[in-house]
Structure 1
Amino acid sequence: MSTRTGERQQPWSDEPVEQGRILVLSDNPIARSIAVIASTVGRTVVVEAADDGGPGLDPRRGDAVVLCDHDAPDAPGVLRAALASDAAYVAMMASRGRAAGLLDDLVAEGVDVTTLHVPAGHDLGGKAPGEIALSVVAEIVAESYGRTGGPMRG
C-alpha cells in the first residue's frame, strides 16, 4: 500500500539558476532564432550584428559564444578571444570540412581548439534556421548542466 501526500511533484524547479550569457556573432536567421529560443529558456542573449566582431563580445566566466558566420572577417579573432576567455562554451557554425582551414590556422598559431564545438549543436537533423538554433541552444543548456544531451529514457 502506498501513501500519497496530495502534493504533486513538478518536473521543474522554481529556483532561479544563474547562467552565463549567450553571445552570438553575427546577425542572421540562425542567430535570431538562437536569441528567441535561448530567451524563452531564460538565457540572456547578446547578438553582435557587425560581422567584424564589432566592439567585441567580451566573454565572461560561464558565457557561451556562438560564431554563426564562419566567413565573418574577424572569425579567427573572435575564436581566438573566446577560446582564451573563461567562456564555458565556444562554438562555430560550419561543417568540419568548411572549418578545417580556419582551425588549421588557429592551431598553427598555438591556439588550443580542443574545446571548440564545430559544428555547433546536437545532431537533430534539422535544416531550417530555427531547427539548427534549437540544436545549438540544447547543446548549450546540456553543457551548462554537465550533461551530454542524450535521451532521458532509460
Structure 2
Amino acid sequence: MREQPWSDDAVRHGRILVLSDNPISRSIAAIASTAGRTVVVEPADDGGPGLDVQPGDAVVLCDHDAPDAPAALRAALASEASYVAMMASRGRAAGLLAELEEEGVDTARLHVPAGLDLGGKGPGEIALSVVAEVVAESYGRSGGPMRG
C-alpha cells in the first residue's frame, strides 16, 4: 500500500478575516478557500460593522491606509486571534507601530509586513505568502523549506 502525503482527517481552523476589499484580499480569499479555510472579507475600509474576531481566527489588515486601521489592529491584538498581520511598507508600519505602542498596545505578535518572504510582487503572489504564513502559524511551523 502506497502512503499518501496528505490526510483526509478534518482539521478545524479559525476563519481568516480580511479588511478591506482589494486585489490582494480577493486573492487571499481565493487561495485560502482552496486550502480549505473560511475567509471573511470586510469590504468597508472603515472597518464596517467590525470583524467580530473569535478565538483562533487570523486577522489580516490589507489596507494600512484604511481610516480604521489603528482601531482594527487594537481590537485584533486584544482578541484571541491566533494571527494578526498588516500589509504595509516597513516605513508605514513603523509609524503605526509607534502610535500603538505609545497607547500601550502590545504589538509583539503583530506580523508586519504580513506574509513569508517569497519575493512576490503581484497581488496573487503576495496573497500566497500571507496564506502560507497563516497556515504555518496554525501548525506552529516557521514556514521554512521542508528539505533537510
Q: TM-score range by the shorter chain?
A: over 0.9
TM-score scaled by length of structure 1: 0.95
* Partner residue in 2 for 1:3: none
Runs of 4+ in 1 over 2 A off after TM superposition: none
Q: Deviations over 1:43-69 (max 9, x none)?
A: 000000000000000111110000000
Percent identity of the aligned residues? 81
The separation in 1 between residues aligned to 2:84 and 2:5, in whole angstroms, is 29
Pick one of 2, 7, 14 that aligns with 1:13.
7
The separation in 2 between residues aligned to 1:148 and 1:52, in whole angstroms, is 32
Query: Size of the alignment, in residue pairs?
Result: 148
Q: Deviations over 1:9-45 (max 9, x none)?
A: 0000000000000000000000000000000000000
Q: Determine which structure has more spread, i.e. the larger CA radius of gyration.
A: 1
TM-score scaled by length of structure 2: 0.99
Pick one of 87, 91, 97 that aligns with 1:93.
87
Q: Deviations over 1:96-126 (max 9, x none)?
A: 2111111111000000001000000000000
Alignment RMSD (CA, Å): 0.4
Runs of 5+ unmatched residues, structure 2: none
